[in-house]
Structure 1
């Protein structure tokens, strides 16, 4: 049984059809890659799966529940779509604790362990606005992964990461896959796609086809 079913999904914005009659099924415990030029519709599709945009026609069903009908957003989802809205004058740990307080799924000990997995020091007093781009990306990854969501959606997850950090991320995503998570990745990094993904889809002018 598919964990995500996208049926005849079309999205039109101001007479411009940005996603066109998309039909794909995605299973648990798999990593799916999405490739395509800038503006092809990758991020828009991810936003639709997250419940951030509504269909013009068609539907997206996640774990038996239809987005915008049964639920507004996926029940268990970790996401990187754009730069997360962290607090500039708080430490990385403080930022993550604030986010975790919304659902109260994880405690501070778990947050600290996730930070250390990405080689971020949870005791670092440096505030977020003084983080390097690589540190900001790592913190974004921690917020997406720390609650062990069933669905993980990552748009360009290796942006600003050094080679060692990319290796760490790939290892973590493999472990999340083994745990049973459904993972969606959009990336211009061919190595990410080739080494991680069980199946790859190409998006071009709003249409999706399996590679």
Structure 2
């Protein structure tokens, strides 16, 4: 478990992180979302003792990071995939990590296989790695000590679509085994597919948090976009149930949930060819709550 309580970090007159409080539970993937410069990376650096908090505390399973014995066996960290010595090979990096943690060298081979780095790639110098290969090596290093907690900053950067899907499955299975995962990103769609809970941060402050359903309720009332083989008949059936709708393109925009629309169509015997949510989504909520931090539409 990760517990962040009232964490603030200031640099002179600038506040990078402002009274941030949240908790990451075991068995869950927590997405930490915000625009570039919102304070995500600073918060994560504070968690692992690389940056001191001006005030507030962070504990991992009840202890500050610097008090955790052999921390790599308890907390896996990936904050910057490019922060490895470019003159070392991937295998050398993992071997040094394994020996520092008191692990057998066989663990290195297990991790290289897990992240799909081939024997020839493992022998190459990191300066010759692509960003995606560096990310895979960084994930291997974070998982090396079989930790109970993972703290990952933008781990999908540089991965191709197959790599991103692989990473999602890896993190989900890790949480399903009882692990705690904190995953930061500025890409909402990427995190939405794997996170059980999401924390939105803007200008160093938490602006929203909760699971997907909770955040969608905050985004606004339910709406649906629907197309059927008989749109006028569907509109009439919805009106009879007290549900308003209007024409939208080749279909209808309905001021109700997709479930309500589906039930009305079934009762009226109308075939639907398309039915989807048409209300404000998580992306709309994200952009609305962090609007004053976006470069687009905000002159310097």
Please confirm whether the aligned pair reaches a TM-score higher than 0.5, indicating the same fold. yes
Question: Is the 8 Å Cα contact of residues 151 and 182 (structure 2) preserved in structure 1?
Answer: yes
Say whether 1:41 aligns with 2:21: no
The CA RMSD over aligned residues, in Å, is 2.1
- 1:99–1:84 Cα change, 3 Å: farther
Return the structure number with greater helix share.
2
In structure 2, what is the Cα distance between the partners aligned to 1:64 and 1:102?
A: 23
- 1:126–1:197 Cα change, 3 Å: same
Normalised to the residue count of structure 2, the TM-score between the two structures is: 0.64
Tell me which moved more, 111-120 or 198-207: 111-120
- CA shift for structure 1 position 67: 5.2
Say whether 1:119 aligns with 2:152: no
Give the match for residue 89 of structure 1. Answer: 87
- 1:85–1:13 Cα change, 3 Å: same
Q: Give structure 1 stretches of 5+ with no counterpart.
A: none
- CA shift for structure 1 position 33: 0.5
- 1:74–1:20 Cα change, 3 Å: farther
Question: Is the 8 Å Cα contact of residues 50 and 74 (structure 1) preserved in structure 2?
Answer: no
Say whether 1:129 aligns with 2:127: yes
Question: Is the 8 Å Cα contact of residues 70 and 101 (structure 2) preserved in structure 1?
Answer: no
In structure 2, what is the Cα distance between the partners aligned to 1:94 and 1:74?
A: 20
Question: Is the 8 Å Cα contact of residues 59 and 67 (structure 1) preserved in structure 2?
Answer: no
User: Equivalent of 1:79, from 55, 62, 77?
Assistant: 77
Over residues 57-110 of structure 1, what are the superposed CA-to-partner deviations in whole Å (9 max), with x where a residue is unaligned?
A: 221122122456x56996721111123443333321122101222112x32222
Radius of gyration: which is bigger?
Answer: 2
Give the match for residue 101 of structure 2. Answer: 103
Normalised to the residue count of structure 1, the TM-score between the two structures is: 0.88
RCO greater where, 1 or 2, for CA within 8 Å and sep 6 or more? 1
- 1:10–1:174 Cα change, 3 Å: same
- 1:66–1:85 Cα change, 3 Å: closer
Instruction: Give the secondary structure class of the aligned counterpart of 1:65.
Output: coil
- CA shift for structure 1 position 207: 0.3
Give the match for residue 21 of structure 1. Answer: 19
- CA shift for structure 1 position 4: 2.1
In structure 1, what is the Cα distance between the partners aligned to 2:7 and 2:13?
A: 16
Matched residue count: 207
Instruction: Give the secondary structure class of the aligned counterpart of 1:191.
Output: helix
Over residues 42-71 of structure 1, what are the superposed CA-to-partner deviations in whole Å (9 max), with x where a residue is unaligned?
A: 001111111222221221122122456x56
